[in-house]
Structure 1
């Protein structure tokens, strides 16, 4: 007879219960925790970030529609419901006249002149597409314009706003404080200062974001440098001097596939081609004298490059990875900053030194109109444009 058989019925039940508890404890070493533990573990773990290709994208950022084309939302006529009813206009900041000229693109006529602050540099669509912000650089203000009515609102005090961008998640505006040598992160709606990031380079002015929104590349005009900045951390990840004596980098634009950044350089007379992830030394693609602005076509196939110093526009083919055309303005000119019409048929550029604006056919390169405006026209905005949200400048849409 076994020892267990000698036990009383009560003892047997007690022994069996203890054995069951022991087995459960042993099983617990390899089986999932109970519901309470699982909930506690789930609550403690940070939520996983969504993925873009091989990288996680910025938390809260509306992902790009096509992982192979960051401009997929910018197709002809693909206007957001947020801009429904907005009249099609071209807004031209006249730096020396302290005004914004408003052009009707159907008639090529100036239909309104809006007084703003001192030295307006760029007209910038807000992240939510509802407001146009005029950057009054030396007036140290931003003037809001209602694109539905064309009415200017009360200026907001913002120091040294040379240019303005928005983080892809819509949280912050980023003021390019060129002379203050700062990137100033502000609330995207109230413009309340959140954080100022000092930079050692001089003349921060233009930028564009990686496809996943994790970082952005900034050009430093007066010191000939580039910065790589962490979007969420609001801190500089890298800095490099461009390999050209006297370099003056200007506009920045990412390729449709998100792999390459292009940086216009008005003194190197070409575009720097940069691997944003590696942030290694870029290579120069010569385009023309005074290379300045960069604009992607509505089908994402080409990029229009304004050469301010020679009155021309170079056309770069992304698939062929080369320049394919050059359009020269009749009677010269100084094509600077601008944008592409909503239907993709017209490229609009300011004539910085000639108090005029150019309308150029994107199929033929023919000049459609040359319109007189105020003195020193600079970062004009064509509005509205297709896209779900704005990353700033004269219109970078995703």
Structure 2
């Protein structure tokens, strides 16, 4: 069934797949720690059991899927279909598709956050927008809320814990943009390094971290004024940045070095370098997305060229194992 909604959003709900009000026994409560991987070459979504390291499921998804986000209750995962115009929702238990949200012509959804408030925030890169979706509400879906960034290539996304503010990295414009989700005041964009792409908000919401892949730098910004507080020199081509759940360090994924730069968030100094594949294998592995485990003990590194995900022990810096991730595994989400 297709429902036309104001604001240009189309919702397709698959028959028999509407979520129930109460969690089912097949939901997250019954699952072991699980990693979900979007494979952008294989156009698939995978589910990996982290206890055993085995891939439990791999099913077709959409064209060129990229970033992922799990729902607050752990029952669903949202997939940004970068090669198209939709955000697709799957059940975490069996990867069965539940709904598809069409963001409009040339949307190219990429960065995605499923907030604790139950709403999905996603960049529509081709439309220079952030789109806010009230997902999976028993078919009674209110119109989407659209926020213009005014910048080219709004790619990655962070949202504040109180859902009042969002930030994007804008590759085409070489900027970082602050979007007020409540007052709708004009966006504030600032130039940060060369080709800023990675973005991560500190757990306390007081520092916005950005990695600029073209200038091999990471920046600590004031989230409201957007002033750069501190700058760190990283490894080569820091494609992503992720702050540890404990807030003590931020880690960049340095694609050309095949390594991770560990930055002390208090001093903005690189205190360690963790080799994942190393320079000799960097192109053969082509590491992209990084993801922390909930307890901060593991870092998961998507290696898109070798179709693997490296599991790194943070304390020792050792690669513990390489997990299957589908052809061109890139986006990742984790259920603790």
Please classify the TM superposition score into its range, dividing by the shorter chain length: 0.7 to 0.9
1:336 is matched with which residue? 288
More helix, by proportion: 1
2:323 is matched with which residue? 371
> Any idea what SS the aligned residue of 1:379 has?
strand
* Matches of 1:96 and 1:119, distance apart in 2: 6
Q: Normalising by structure 2, what TM-score?
A: 0.80
2:300 is matched with which residue? 348
CA contact (8 A) 2:149 2:179 kept: no
2:59 maps to 1:114: yes
User: Which moves more between the two structures, 104-113 or 279-288?
Assistant: 279-288
Q: How do 1:225-304 residues align onto structure 2 when only pairs under 5 Å count?
A: 225-242=175-192, 244=193, 247-281=194-228, 283-304=230-251
2:148 maps to 1:203: no
* Matches of 1:88 and 1:203, distance apart in 2: 34
Q: How many aligned positions are there? A: 299
2:110 maps to 1:162: yes
Q: Structure 1: any 5+ residue segments left out of the alignment?
A: 1-81, 386-398
1:307 is matched with which residue? 254
Change (3 A) 1:329 1:258: same
**Which of residues 77, 90, 104 is equivalent to 1:145?**
90
* Matches of 1:220 and 1:207, distance apart in 2: 10
* Matches of 2:274 and 2:152, distance apart in 1: 33
Q: How do 1:89-128 residues align onto structure 2 when only pairs under 5 Å count?
A: 89-128=34-73
CA contact (8 A) 2:203 2:245 kept: no
| Residues 183-209 of structure 1: per-residue CA shift (max 9 Å, x gap) | 222224356543323332111122223
Which ranges of 4 or more aligned residues in structure 1 deviate by more than 6 Å? Answer: none
CA contact (8 A) 2:76 2:92 kept: yes
* Matches of 1:105 and 1:168, distance apart in 2: 24
CA contact (8 A) 2:44 2:59 kept: yes
Change (3 A) 1:225 1:130: same
| Residues 145-168 of structure 1: per-residue CA shift (max 9 Å, x gap) | 212344333434334222223456
User: Which moves more between the two structures, 111-120 or 281-290?
Assistant: 281-290
Deviation at 1:271, TM superposition (A): 0.9
* Matches of 2:199 and 2:288, distance apart in 1: 13
RMSD: 2.4
| Residues 121-178 of structure 1: per-residue CA shift (max 9 Å, x gap) | 11211245431011112232222221234433343433422222345644x4222001
* Matches of 1:197 and 1:213, distance apart in 2: 13
2:170 is matched with which residue? 220
Deviation at 1:347, TM superposition (A): 1.1
> Any idea what SS the aligned residue of 2:330 has?
coil
Change (3 A) 1:113 1:257: closer
More strand, by proportion: 2
Deviation at 1:267, TM superposition (A): 1.1
1:184 is matched with which residue? 131
Q: How do 1:62-73 residues align onto structure 2 when only pairs under 5 Å count?
A: none
Larger Rg: 1
> Any idea what SS the aligned residue of 2:211 has?
strand
Change (3 A) 1:280 1:257: same
Change (3 A) 1:257 1:126: closer
